[in-house]
Structure 1
Amino acid sequence: MDGNMGIRTITKIEANPALFSRTADNRKLKVAAYCRVSTDEEDQLNSLETQMKYYTGKISENSAWTFAGIYADEGISGTSVDKRKEFMRLMRDCQKGKVDYILTKSTTRFARNTVDSLTWVRKLRAIGVGVMFEEQNLDSLKAENETFIGFYSVMAQSESESISGNVKWGVRKRMKNGTYKVRFDLLGYSVDKDGNPYIVPAEAEAVRTIFKMFLDSASLLQLQQYLEGNGFKTPRGNSVWQRSVISYMLKNEKYVGDVLYQKTYRRDCISKKVLRNNGELTRYLISNNHPAIIDRETFNLVQLEIARRSNKRKKSDKGLTELGKYSGKYALTDLLVCGCCGGAYKRTCKNETDKKVYYWRCINRIDHGTTACRDSFGIEEKKLHSAILRCLSKMMSDREEVVRLIQSNLQYGESGNAATLDVYNLENQIAQLNEDMTIFMDRAASTGGDVDKYEAELKKMFEQLTALRNLLETAKSQAAQSETVNNEVARLTALLMEADLNFSEFDDVTIRRIVECIQVNTDKHILVTLKGGLQGEELI
């Protein structure tokens, strides 16, 4: 015998009394009842109370039974067991030996999903727990009854599908004639006792502010900080705003007084999975349905800005995807380009004599050195800001003349053939994005890696593609005129003609609104291009 072997011992593990009692002779069955109503209306709740009283009495009156409780779900559909807390609690108690037998009114009360019904009946029968369906007089412990239980479960599911179909028909009929009531759980709106929306002035002002801030380059994070910092609650009463909620607000047509019906739909009444309607079902747009908070011009500009930000190209080839990240903090992140290699510039920090000094440097030079960009150079931020301000001051010395030039350049490029140019640009962006998606999918298939990350990026790219296609559809329908471009011209003109507009201090919002691009040339000059094509040059 191995000298290292321990002493052989025997440990007694007591049986679970609750499970052991199921096999004992002359035992009393622990009987429970399951009740469910599908709505929380008063007559349904009265029906539930009646069921509970009936089963409490019935179980208590039987001397061979022990009352194991009533499990009741209120206002819950029977098409899925996952959301029925009491049903799932009953199943767990059965598995723990707390319940030996279940009484329920009918197969429709137990489950309206054939798969769920048969799955749980079989699981319970495997551990010796039976279900009595009183209306059909079926005991699940009898194997010959399974066929009938399955038959009645199919009928229950078919009934649910029929009811669901009738409800959908009624809903779509009301959508078609514009009488369907939608929820207005949006910042800026509330509803009266008849369900009609009205504007909440203080909240509406906040909504206008975030739309303006977004056009003035603010990121979703900055909009979140504004809402939380000013104490605005979410539609659900939370103090913390999710950026996805703010993004939804910026895209919501209700703010211009319209309602778009059937933006989403449920795949079926069993899974209840909600899908975005990308054209699978008819949509109905009700224009001027209620008072607007945002004018259509501003709303359209915001949609274009969303698409522009979503379609940003990456600045560094070290990124996983072809998509770039929008920065709402520094205007130069999106505007500054290298005159040597054409790459973007990046803000960097350097510690000098106990203080931080910020520089802007070519990303290609940072990532790959002089082999990728030989002649670019870093610029100290303060010097760069000063050069830009000097250049803009010179260019704006005759402001009215500059405004006329910008207007004429923009309108020459857009007027008469504005929608055609928009369509051309959007088609190019869509083609490029399709090509990027193909390359990305090939890379994902060949390299493996984090599948979830690849799927998330693909989903983001698909959402951008959908947004661009929607914009393309809009541009085609407005081929004879382009209100959006004209509004942008008017907006830019108004900004340039403001009396207090000056270039004594660097302001990211102003720079982003009037400057199209700033090129850093190797001869230590910057070339500033305003929106509309007007250019100016300045020594750094």
Structure 2
Amino acid sequence: MRDNPPRVITIPAKVESTAQQAVQRQLRVAAYCRVSTDDEEQLTSYEAQQTYYTDKIMGNKDWTMAGIFADEGITGTSARKRPEFLKMIRQCKRKKIDIILTKSISRFARNTVDCLNYIRALRELGIAVIFEKENINTMESDSEILITMLGAFAQAESESISANVRWGKRQAMREGKAIIQYKRLYAYEKGEDGMPQIIPEQADVVRSIYDRYLTGASLRMLKDWLESEQIPNVAGGAEWTISSIRSILTNEKYCGDVLLQKTYISDCISRKVIRNTGQLPMYLVENHHDGIVDRKTFDAVQAEMARRNAGKSPSKKNAPTGMTSYASKYALSERLVCGECGTLYRRCTWSKRGKKRVVWRCVSRLDYGTKYCHNSPSVDEDQLQRSILAAINSAMSRKSTLIRKITGAMEQVLAPIPGESMSLSDIESRLDELNDLTRTLVAKAAHAENPSIYTVQLKEIMDEAAVLKEKRQAIEEQRKSNTQAIRRIEEAAAVMEGVSAEIQEWDETLIRQLVDTVKVVSAEHITVILRGGIQVEQDMI
């Protein structure tokens, strides 16, 4: 037990003296101003805001200048894209600012979430933001409700403006009006008429890139060639990138077309650029300007790129993902297949007692032994090349007969669907007639006492229309496949026309152009399938 009860001593608050209040330091005041665009009229407004805040802060004896932070030509929907705004926030965190002046909430931020987050962070630091237009001081208790509402209005205004701009741009796209970025477009410059104008020396480089790619060069090989020849890139530098070469090969502008809306902005707040893979319509403006390569060459490159990208690796050891890169060094890497299991062959180097021997082996046998492929032989490269050359030369000796076969194959491809008498235009005309009949019957049924009498007729029309649409789809699909087949056949005929009657030496580029597939039937026999479908049986030499 304690003898004395506890005692409470009150320590009074410290009252500042009049003298202390007199020497109280001036408040450090900063100003933030922003204009939305960088045209001349807005820049004048920007300069006027700077002058206004300088006079206002320096004219108040209780304030001292802590800086004027101004972003020009910058969006207000994202703070990340406003360097002066972020610099001001850093100064606040270092306790170098007491008050921030700004014209309005829409000048401070057009993103409600950003606006509130920064205001709350500044309030915790004891820093007030004063919005002059709305007469709001963020240190007051009821300010956040007003700021939330006004910030939402500012964001809604941005979203409305963004929607209007998007509508205007898409309307221009529908009308075929294209805006081309020449800064990164190789071989083109803006002409006096505002249209793309070809740069002759760079256009020759583009044509060489297309030709080399079609003859089997990989993107890496094209990069090495461009740099070894010291050909400057679009920026004038000496180094080329794989992506820039791929862009040249896939950009439709090089055949004279322009594809609009390849990408789009997700929303006006995040402003994330998304590749358009079907979410929105795209607009292709054909024959917009003079092309550097013809459309046939451009389409051939796209088909070749798709063929290379579609390659699957038969080896889990080489490519666990199932994909493999295009093998351009050896022509047989994608053409030599096993006659037993259909798997590709791979080039291998055997070393024995200091001597090296190059052979081609079935990938299935290499990876799994005889589990799936039992009897596929390993083939010596020299022997294989001699045999393939012999097969090609035997075909070339009867070149005229082969070209006649190719012409016949082309005619067969162009033949109409068996049993189909209606052309595509006939089908479209009949569908238009059926649509008119349908509208007429529907109108009659609407005013008839017994509409069911028209049901049978309507069903017959709908059934006929369904059959015609199926025929139309079949013809369109055949046309599409015909285009690809005709291209390959024409390429084969052109190569055979230009090749001499006998090939003496193995040429990787020429083999890629002539040979489609080589099937290893056995150690003594192969089947060589040339482009265009010509098949030659050949004994191993």
Shared topology, TM-score over 0.5?
yes
What aligned pairs does 1:446-525 form with structure 2 within 5 A after superposition?
476=476, 479=479, 482-498=482-498, 500=500, 502-525=502-525
2:263 — aligned with what? 264
1:63 — aligned with what? 61
2:453 — aligned with what? none
Task: Say if 2:188 and 2:197, in contact at 8 Å, map to a contact too.
Answer: yes
Larger CA deviation: 125-134 vs 323-332: 323-332
Post-superposition shift, 1:518? 0.8
What aligned pairs does 1:94-173 form with structure 2 within 5 A after superposition?
94-173=92-171
Q: Deviations over 1:372-428 (max 9, x none)?
A: 33323333323322222122222222222222234434553565459x9xxxxxxxx
Cα distance change of structure 1 residues 500 and 188 upon mapping to structure 2, 3 Å threshold? farther
Post-superposition shift, 1:291? 0.8
Task: Say if 1:417 and 1:479, in contact at 8 Å, map to a contact too.
Answer: no
Post-superposition shift, 1:336? 0.6
> Is 1:279 matched up with 2:246?
no
Q: Deviations over 1:211-254 (max 9, x none)?
A: 12222122121222233333444444554333233223222221
Amino acid at match of 1:539: M
Larger CA deviation: 143-152 vs 38-47: 38-47
Task: Say if 1:390 and 1:538, in contact at 8 Å, map to a contact too.
Answer: no
Q: Deviations over 1:21-42 (max 9, x none)?
A: xxxx934332222222222222
2:330 — aligned with what? 330
Q: Deviations over 1:259-314 (max 9, x none)?
A: 22222221211111222233333332222111111111111212222222222222
Which residue of 70, 76, 79 corresponds with 2:77?
79
- Work out the percentage of aligned pairs sharing the same amino acid: 42
Secondary structure of the 1:143 match is coil
Task: Say if 2:377 and 2:523, in contact at 8 Å, map to a contact too.
Answer: no
Task: Say if 2:331 and 2:508, in contact at 8 Å, map to a contact too.
Answer: yes
In 2, Cα distance between equivalents of 1:480 and 1:119: 56
Task: Say if 1:111 and 1:153, in contact at 8 Å, map to a contact too.
Answer: yes
In 2, Cα distance between equivalents of 1:536 and 1:100: 90
Q: Deviations over 1:25-73 (max 9, x none)?
A: 9343322222222222222222222222222332233333332222222
Cα distance change of structure 1 residues 475 and 293 upon mapping to structure 2, 3 Å threshold? farther
Larger CA deviation: 138-147 vs 346-355: 346-355
Post-superposition shift, 1:339? 2.2
Larger Rg: 2
What aligned pairs does 1:386-465 form with structure 2 within 5 A after superposition?
386-409=386-409, 411-413=411-413, 415-416=415-416
Task: Say if 1:297 and 1:483, in contact at 8 Å, map to a contact too.
Answer: no
In 2, Cα distance between equivalents of 1:417 and 1:222: 43
Post-superposition shift, 1:112? 0.8
Name structure 1 gaps, 5 residues minimum. 1-24, 421-472
Cα distance change of structure 1 residues 410 and 327 upon mapping to structure 2, 3 Å threshold? farther
Cα distance change of structure 1 residues 270 and 411 upon mapping to structure 2, 3 Å threshold? same
Q: Deviations over 1:63-111 (max 9, x none)?
A: 3333222222221111111121221122122112222221212111111
1:372 — aligned with what? 372
Cα distance change of structure 1 residues 487 and 376 upon mapping to structure 2, 3 Å threshold? closer
Secondary structure of the 1:265 match is strand
Task: Say if 1:417 and 1:480, in contact at 8 Å, map to a contact too.
Answer: no
Amino acid at match of 2:187: G
Post-superposition shift, 1:501? 6.9
2:536 — aligned with what? 535
1:4 — aligned with what? none
Task: Say if 2:361 and 2:379, in contact at 8 Å, map to a contact too.
Answer: yes
Task: Say if 1:405 and 1:534, in contact at 8 Å, map to a contact too.
Answer: no
Larger CA deviation: 230-239 vs 507-516: 230-239
Cα distance change of structure 1 residues 191 and 353 upon mapping to structure 2, 3 Å threshold? farther
Aligned length: 463
In 2, Cα distance between equivalents of 1:79 and 1:155: 13
Name structure 2 gaps, 5 residues minimum. 1-22, 421-472
Post-superposition shift, 1:193? 4.6
What aligned pairs does 1:18-57 form with structure 2 within 5 A after superposition?
26-57=24-55
Cα distance change of structure 1 residues 186 and 411 upon mapping to structure 2, 3 Å threshold? farther
Amino acid at match of 2:540: L
Secondary structure of the 1:479 match is helix
1:383 — aligned with what? 383
Secondary structure of the 1:205 match is helix
Cα distance change of structure 1 residues 103 and 193 upon mapping to structure 2, 3 Å threshold? farther
What aligned pairs does 1:191-210 form with structure 2 within 5 A after superposition?
191-210=190-209
In 2, Cα distance between equivalents of 1:316 and 1:117: 55
> Is 1:216 matched up with 2:212?
no
CA RMSD of aligned residues (A): 2.7
Task: Say if 1:297 and 1:484, in contact at 8 Å, map to a contact too.
Answer: no
Secondary structure of the 1:82 match is helix
Amino acid at match of 2:412: Y
Post-superposition shift, 1:341? 2.7
In 2, Cα distance between equivalents of 1:357 and 1:52: 79
Cα distance change of structure 1 residues 231 and 32 upon mapping to structure 2, 3 Å threshold? farther
Task: Say if 1:114 and 1:157, in contact at 8 Å, map to a contact too.
Answer: yes
Secondary structure of the 2:287 match is coil
2:455 — aligned with what? none
2:311 — aligned with what? 312
Task: Say if 1:215 and 1:302, in contact at 8 Å, map to a contact too.
Answer: yes
Task: Say if 1:518 and 1:527, in contact at 8 Å, map to a contact too.
Answer: yes
Post-superposition shift, 1:484? 4.2
Post-superposition shift, 1:117? 0.7
Cα distance change of structure 1 residues 407 and 205 upon mapping to structure 2, 3 Å threshold? same
In 2, Cα distance between equivalents of 1:346 and 1:414: 37
Cα distance change of structure 1 residues 330 and 481 upon mapping to structure 2, 3 Å threshold? closer
Task: Say if 2:397 and 2:501, in contact at 8 Å, map to a contact too.
Answer: no
Amino acid at match of 2:254: Y
1:182 — aligned with what? 180
Cα distance change of structure 1 residues 356 and 200 upon mapping to structure 2, 3 Å threshold? farther
In 2, Cα distance between equivalents of 1:124 and 1:209: 60
